Amino acid sequence: MTDAEAKATILLVDDTPVNIQVLANSLKAHYQIKIATSGAKALEIASQSPPDLILLDIMMPEMDGYEVCRQLKTDPATAAIPILFVTAMTEQASEAKGLALGAVDYIAKPFVPELVLARVKNHLELKLHRDRLEQLVQERTREVELTQDVTIECMSSMAEYRNAETLGHIKRTRQYIGIMAKKLRSHPKFREQLDDSAIRRLFKSSSLHDIGKTRVPEQILFKPAKLTEEEFAIVKEHSLYGSETIAASTRSLGSNSFLNCAQEIAATHHEKWDGSGYPQGLRGEAIPLGGRLMALADVYDALISKRVYKAPLPHAQAVETIRAERGRHFDPDIVDAFLELAENFRRIALQYADCDEERQNQEQA
């Protein structure tokens, strides 16, 4: 036996003492043994300290082995434990039922100790191999996610380098996006779009929404006065610039690139629900969800933030401005979520405020 196998714990479940004794005698020299003489006790032991493998009798009073197996497989804490049914039943239908419930094998009574030991050993080796593969997958997933995070961080730092105010804006807006997406996940309209993976993508990708501003001339971007129509037309191009910049980074990554979400947000966060936005004049749900979320987050943050050309608005006034644009600038369902989360927005704005004036505005809200 290997060291990993020697540490393995086997739970024996049978209401007949002689069967327990035979199985224990076959295995105790190699494994740690736990015993349950009822289905209820087996569930209790497995939930408190999950064993590495379970030998489970089928014909037991009150709760048979099939029901025990079903409950074990529906509990995430015990679902991965290999279950071998031990039974005198030999009908193929009975075997099929057990396998359909998630058991991995059958051991027939009367027991042959060598056969019991061999099957337990084989299934423990399979479990060990599966656990190692799962660990490798998890490690690889963490590496991929870290690479994605670093890529987005490096790209967003391009915008931060030009403008110190951008860092606070990025931190705040991605927090706004995160809490709105989590709130909307319970809405039937958005449930299928907003699983955990999608919410993580939205949170990370939102950092790149204004990356296109790196191509806007500084004398326009930082002008301490109202822009002319010509200057504003140049600023509006940043949505296209951002989309093009991210697209250039994704060409070698293929159509399923993790940056696709960032490209959508960069391209569409100035579109409006009523179709009056830019650059494409998209309307309603033709605007990707990320763009609709970013539109609200971006406007709220612009309202409560100090800029060279304006003072920050109080939180309450910003909330009323957003409310007034429900169904015009913003998706009505997203506005409804925002209104329920307004106090959370205020706390985020306070936590990541760029200056004392902004902080005081939020504290007084």
Q: Is the peptide bond before 279 cis (omega within 30 degrees of 0)?
A: yes
The span from the CA of 190 to the CA of 185, in Å, is: 6
Please tell me the predicted confidence (pLDDT) of residue 335.
98
pLDDT at position 190 is 96
Q: What is the DSSP string of 87-153?
A: ES---HHHHHHHHHHT--EEEESSP-HHHHHHHHHHHHHHHHHHHHHHHHHHHHHHHHHHHHHHHHH
Residues 358, 305: contact at Cβ < 8 Å?
yes
| Structural domains for the chain | 3-135 (3.40.50.2300), 163-363 (1.10.3210.10)
What residues are paired with 108 via a beta bridge? 87
With contact defined as beta carbons under 8 Å apart, do 104 and 81 qualify? no
pLDDT at residue 360, as a whole number? 67
Measured distance CA(172)–CA(221) in Å, rounded:
20
pLDDT the model gives residue 5:
46
Q: What is the pLDDT of residue 72?
A: 95
**How is residue 304 written in tokens?**
């409560």
What one-letter code names the amino acid at 185? Answer: R
Query: Strand, helix or coil at 351?
Result: helix
Which secondary-structure segment (H or E) carries 315?
Answer: helix 315-324
What contacts 146, CB < 8 A, 6 or more positions away?
A: none
Give residue 167's pLDDT: 72
From residue 84, alpha-carbon distances to 21, 89, 95, 125, 304 in Å are 17, 13, 11, 14, 62
pLDDT averaged over 10-residue windows placed end to end, the chain, 365 residues: 65 92 91 94 94 93 92 93 84 71 86 88 90 82 69 66 67 95 96 93 91 88 86 93 85 67 95 97 97 97 84 92 98 98 94 74 64
Backbone angles phi, psi at 130, to 5 degrees: -65, -40
- Say what the pLDDT of residue 298 is: 96
CA–CA dist 204, 294 (Å, integer):
12
Strand partners, 32: 9
